[in-house]
Structures are given as C-alpha cells and as structure tokens.
Amino acid sequence: MKSLPDAAALLEQTLLARRDLLGDVRPNVSREALQRFTSVRTAPQAAAPATAPGRNADTLAAIQEEVRTCRLCEHLAASRTQTVFGVGNPQADLMFVGEAPGADEDRLGEPFVGRAGELLTKIIQAMGLSRDDVYIANVLKCRPDMPKGAPGNRPPTPQEMERCLPYLRRQIALIRPRVLVALGKTAMVGLVGADEPMGAMRGRWFSFEGIPLLPTYHPSYLLRNGAPAEKRKVWEDMLLVMEKLGLTISEKQRGFFRSAA
Ligand code: SF4
C-alpha cells in the first residue's frame, strides 16, 4: 500500500497526463491543493524528549527540573517536602554518592547537611579539599517516607533506587568525575547491585559506567561507631581516592588515625 505522499504524487501525475491527452482541459486540482492534501494528513513526528539520557542538550538544570516535578514514586512524591538533587562543583573530579535524603536534607533541599553531612565535610577538608571542590548527591532524590510521626529515617528500597537511578546516571554523565565514592552499603546496592557487607567491599575498586568507584562507610556509621580504628578505615579509603586523583598526600595526612590501625 502506498504512503499518502506517494498517492498524492500518483494522483498529480495522472491528472497531468490527462491534461496532456485532452489539450485545453485542465485538471481541476491545483498543486497547492495537493500539497495541502499531503500535509494535512501526514502524521506529525513525535517530539523527542528534550533531556533524554545521553543527549548533548542535557544539562544539570534540566535534570533538576525534571526531578523537582517527578512523581514516579507516588508515595515519596506525596510525603516529601522537596526533592534533593545534588550540590557542588559541576566539573568535579570527585563525586560522593549517598543513598537518600534524610529529614534534614528533605527540609533544606541539600544532601548531607545534618550531623553526617558535617562529618563528611570534615573528611573532605582533611583531604585538602572543600565541599565546593567536589559534587555530592544521592541515588534517591526524595526522602524515603516514614510512618506518620515516626522518628528517624529509613533506607530506600532497591526498587525505589532503581526507579530513580537514571537521574543520577545523567548527573554523572554530565559531571564526568574521575572518581566516585559510594557512602554506605545501600548506595552500593543502588549503584551497582553489590549487596555485600561494607567490611568486605571497602578498599576495593569497583566501576560505575567506566568510572572508578570506591565504597566506604557512610558517615552516619562513624557517628554511631566512632572508634579510631573505624575512622582509620574510612581515612585509608580516602587516601586511595587521593592517590587515584593524583593529589599530594602529606606525611601528616598519611598518619591520621595510624595508631588506631
Ligand atoms: S525518588 Fe526519584 S523517581 Fe521517585 S519520585 Fe523521587 S525523584 Fe522521582
């Protein structure tokens, strides 16, 4: 079966041939009318999504706007105060990824701002960097909902993280950090599906979209278990990150918490 534009061309040819045969008898259909015939009935092309993953036109601002209005998890969209997109240097070499916003982040709209966030800031500063040098985000952009009146936070489910991961993927594709650090086991589950105890994963390099990924304990773990030996483990992981980034490491930095090892 011919397409509509082909059918119109055939009709025009037939009419022109009839005019040739009949001399003065002109076809009763103009070229403009034929064009209208084809254009009116040609289905419009479906518009491509403005910010589909991997498109050059993608921007952090565009993703952030999509996240702001996202309702893919209806229960989280209903319970959140606001979405928590990410913060820091959009051209950072180093990116930290946590699991999800907690109550403080949900209130303020920025990741890692509570006590755990303060500790993360101290860790970053001990590396000789500032929060403005790195980028910080979570796998999940909405706070996992809690029963009404219940205190604390809950970890996101694997299903929630899977649904939200495309946003983080696009953030990472734009920022293109040289090193990713996953803060906590849940972030590792969300990023690469690695469901092992953190004690077995930390200190080992993984890969996310070809980017070196190092897991380490979530700062909230250090708040619960602040033994110097545990702090030293996180610090050893940060030394690995600094080496990978080619950052200068002083003797003083190498020695942090060494007596606890
Ligand atoms: S958690 Fe992510 S996918 Fe779910 S509603 Fe929030 S932004 Fe959308």
19 found inside a domain: yes
Q: What is the CATH number of the domain that holds 211?
A: 3.40.470.10
Ligand 1 centre to CA of 78 (Å) is 11
Domain coverage including residue 191: 60-260
| Among candidate residues 182, 172, 164, 157, the one with its CA nearest the CA of residue 83 | 164
74, 76, 106, 160: which to mutate for ligand 1, most atoms within 8 A of CB?
A: 76
64, 163, 169, 186: which to mutate for ligand 1, most atoms within 8 A of CB?
A: 163
| Among candidate residues 178, 118, 165, 103, the one with its CA nearest the CA of residue 137 | 165
Distance CA 195, CA 213 (A): 15
Ligand 1 centre to CA of 133 (Å) is 27
Looking at the fold, whether 26 and 139 belong to one and the same domain comes out as no
Looking at the fold, whether 205 and 123 belong to one and the same domain comes out as yes
User: Which atom of ligand 1 is nearest to 80's Cα?
Assistant: 6
Q: How many other C-beta atoms can be found within 10 angstroms of the C-beta atom of residue 138?
A: 28
Looking at the fold, whether 19 and 141 belong to one and the same domain comes out as no
Low-confidence ranges of the chain (pLDDT < 70): 1-56, 260-261
Structure-derived torsion over alpha carbons of residues 42, 43, 44, 45, reported in degrees to the nearest 10: -110
48 found inside a domain: no
Ligand 1 centre to CA of 210 (Å) is 25
Name the domain count of the chain.
Answer: 2
178 found inside a domain: yes
- The finding on whether 171 has its CB within 6 A of some atom of ligand 1 is no
Looking at the fold, whether 89 and 161 belong to one and the same domain comes out as yes
241 found inside a domain: yes
Looking at the fold, whether 32 and 150 belong to one and the same domain comes out as no
What is the reported pLDDT for 261? 60
What is the reported pLDDT for 50? 37
Each residue's pLDDT tens digit, 27-70: 333 333 333 333 333 333 333 333 344 444 799 999 999 999 99
Looking at the fold, whether 154 and 252 belong to one and the same domain comes out as yes
- The finding on whether 84 has its CB within 6 A of some atom of ligand 1 is no
What is the reported pLDDT for 41? 31
